């Protein structure tokens, strides 16, 4: 079935509400367009590739970057090779059927509602499958890049300096693309260097002994906190004496003892996997958080999380901050502390998978060694 649509937003919105997964390939996204997509496609996986030849606002690209980093449902690519000008929207419904829109409307207020636009909606399943294949071709390495903080900074500088960005010459566009690609590659190379060091650590003669030491520490931390008994009788003297997974400052122990009842509530909240990780971390670490206890900062909170599940969480402290900074591993702007920890945990899971490291507890040793090198 084929329909001719003159106002894309109305029909597309209804399909997005029922979507299980969507694919969007557009030359430009505006604030109104992104708001339309996020509100309509609340229950769907989102795959989106955006061009750089038209003036997509910097804050829109930053928000797309944030969505990809903090959500498991968003995948974002930047098409920086060739002049990218399609306007394609593909929707997959819960019954496995597809619908697709191809037309003139970008993901903007004008493209969806305000301008005179024309689009074709088709439910021809073969045509929809072909459009999805075309989408994947757009996203291939060498055709598209992933957004990075460095790329966004470069884009922002060029965007702000040129108020009439759309009229920049083709040569200026190509110069921006080349510069941006080099910056994106530099960022990826730094991450590759980190993973290279991680693989070297995994192959070292000391790795197995260090892994066993950290596993022992995980058991001791759980024992000291009375983990298996719902934290009813934690032994803080024992807990603070355990140096692996981050040596804690004795001065903070008295503050926690004074608030022991509240601290037990914090511990129970931290291991509650029904609560989003970012929310748990934020409420326990940041001043004013519902579960913040004086003396319990990021080192202590992340130590507890790592002992709770060393396959998911890592020890965050000044040493890890130093190492990530030295390797140029940067986070999206605008994230709170909980979101930063969640994003970093996701990155480390991917890195550890590549290095064949199954237990994050040993990362504390790895990061300590690297931080000593950088301190010198």
**Of the options 3.40.50.10700, 3.30.870.10, 3.40.640.10, 3.20.20.60, the CATH number for the domain spanning 2-192:** 3.30.870.10
Instruction: Name the pLDDT band for 184 (thresholds 50, 70, 90).
Output: low
Please state whether beta strands 74-79 and 45-51 pair in parallel, antiparallel, or not at all (unpaired).
parallel
The separation between CA 8 and the C-alpha centre of its own chain, rounded to angstroms, equals 30
**Sign of CA pseudo-dihedral 57, 60, 66, 71:** negative
What does the pLDDT average to over 43-61?
A: 89
Exposed / middle / buried, residue 201 (Cβ in 10 Å: 0-12, 13-18, 19+):
buried
Q: Which two tokens stand for residue 99?
A: 């619908």
Backbone torsions φ then ψ of 102, nearest 5 degrees: -130, 125
Instruction: Name the pLDDT band for 71 (thresholds 50, 70, 90).
Output: confident
What confidence tens digit (pLDDT) does each residue in 216-232 have? 999 999 999 999 999 99
Q: For position 270, what pLDDT does the model report? A: 94
pLDDT above 70: residue 166: no
What confidence tens digit (pLDDT) does each residue in 110-144 have? 888 888 889 999 999 999 999 999 999 999 888 89
- CB neighbourhood size of 171 (10 A): 8
Q: For position 360, what pLDDT does the model report? A: 83
**Sign of CA pseudo-dihedral 180, 181, 184, 190:** negative
Q: For position 163, what pLDDT does the model report? A: 39
Contact 362, 204 (CB under 8 A): no
- The domain locations on the chain are 2-192, 204-375
Q: For position 165, what pLDDT does the model report? A: 44
Helical packing angle, 260-270 and 277-285, nearest 10°: 160
What confidence tens digit (pLDDT) does each residue in 263-277 have? 999 999 999 998 889
């Amino acid at each position: 079935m084929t329909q001719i649509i003159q106002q894309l937003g109305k029909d597309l919105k209804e399909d997005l509400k029922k979507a299980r997964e969507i694919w969007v390939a557009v030359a430009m996204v505006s604030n109104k367009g992104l708001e339309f997509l996020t509100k309509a496609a609340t229950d769907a996986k989102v795959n989106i590739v955006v061009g750089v030849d038209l003036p997509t606002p910097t804050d829109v690209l930053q928000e797309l970057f944030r969505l990809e980093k903090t959500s498991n449902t968003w995948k974002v690519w930047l098409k920086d090779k060739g002049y990218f000008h399609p306007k394609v929207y593909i929707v997959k419904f819960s019954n496995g059927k597809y619908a697709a829109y191809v037309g003139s409307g970008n993901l903007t207020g004008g493209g969806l509602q305000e301008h005179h636009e024309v689009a074709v909606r088709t439910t021809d399943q073969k045509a929809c499958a072909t459009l999805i294949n075309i989408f994947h071709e757009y996203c291939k390495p060498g055709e598209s890049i992933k957004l990075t903080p460095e790329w966004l900074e470069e884009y922002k500088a060029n965007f702000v300096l040129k108020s009439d960005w759309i009229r920049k010459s083709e040569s200026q566009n190509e110069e921006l693309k080349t510069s941006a690609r080099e910056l994106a590659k530099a960022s990826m190379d730094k991450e590759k260097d980190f993973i290279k060091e991680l693989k070297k650590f995994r192959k070292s003669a000391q790795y197995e002994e260090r892994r066993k030491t950290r596993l022992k520490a995980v058991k001791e931390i759980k024992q000291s906190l009375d983990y298996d008994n719902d934290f009813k009788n934690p032994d803080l003297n024992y807990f603070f004496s355990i140096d692996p997974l981050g040596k804690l400052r004795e001065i903070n122990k008295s503050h926690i003892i004074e608030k022991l009842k509240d601290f037990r509530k914090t511990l129970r909240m931290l291991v509650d996997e029904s609560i989003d990780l970012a929310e748990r971390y934020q409420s326990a670490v940041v001043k004013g958080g519902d579960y913040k206890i004086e003396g319990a900062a990021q080192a202590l909170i992340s130590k507890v999380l790592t002992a709770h599940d060393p396959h998911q969480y890592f020890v965050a402290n000044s040493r890890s901050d130093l190492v990530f900074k030295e390797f140029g591993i940067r986070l999206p702007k605008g994230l709170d502390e909980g979101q930063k920890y969640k994003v970093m945990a996701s990155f480390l899971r991917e890195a550890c998978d590549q290095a064949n490291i199954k237990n994050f507890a040993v990362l504390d040793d790895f990061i300590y060694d690297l931080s000593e090198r950088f301190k010198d």
